[in-house]
Amino acid sequence: MKTLAELFEHTLKDVYYAENAIAKALPKVSAAAKNPELKKAVNHHLEETKGQIETLKKVFKTIDVRPEGVKCDAADGLLKEAAGVMEEGEGVALDAGLLAACQAVEHYEIARYGSLREWAKVLGNEQAHILLSEILDQEKAANSKLTNLAVTAINK
């Protein structure tokens, strides 16, 4: 990658891979969660994630590239950590660990979408900027909901 446009395309493929991997992992997280509010939050984010994948397809269209993912070691690592929590966590620690794992994923996504959005702006791709802003706002809201859930219920 030598240009911002190449970096944008690569990172878009990276996050597309990540969102698809997350969509596959969230049903397992929901099944493992004991707290009903955490289950509800995870299931809600699964639906949002499916919508975000569709939105990413629109972003790919703005640069005339077929939607495809490239292996994302960061997402794979975060999801591996979540799987470890599901395997080893018990009692109160299980839900707290799952929530923390979900927030780690949200923070990764917020970082990626923040960069992509700004690169789209610099590249003059207003449509991608708008679409990526929508996803970024959803990710920030999901993180806020998880923080609230941690403070009001899970970590008590």
Where in the sequence is the domain holding 96, given as residue range(s)? 4-154
* Contact (CB, 8 A) for 16 and 69: yes
Per residue in 21-61, pLDDT (tens digit) is 999 999 999 999 999 999 999 999 999 999 999 999 999 99
Question: How many domains would you assign to the chain?
Answer: 1
Per residue in 97-129, pLDDT (tens digit) is 999 999 999 999 999 999 999 999 999 999 999
Give Cα separations from 8 to 67, 83, 119, 133, 138 (angstroms): 13, 30, 7, 15, 20
pLDDT score for 156: 80
* Contact (CB, 8 A) for 106 and 5: no
Residue 44 and residue 26: Cα distance in Å, rounded?
10
Residue 98 and residue 94: Cα distance in Å, rounded?
6
Domain CATH number, residue 75: 1.20.1260.10
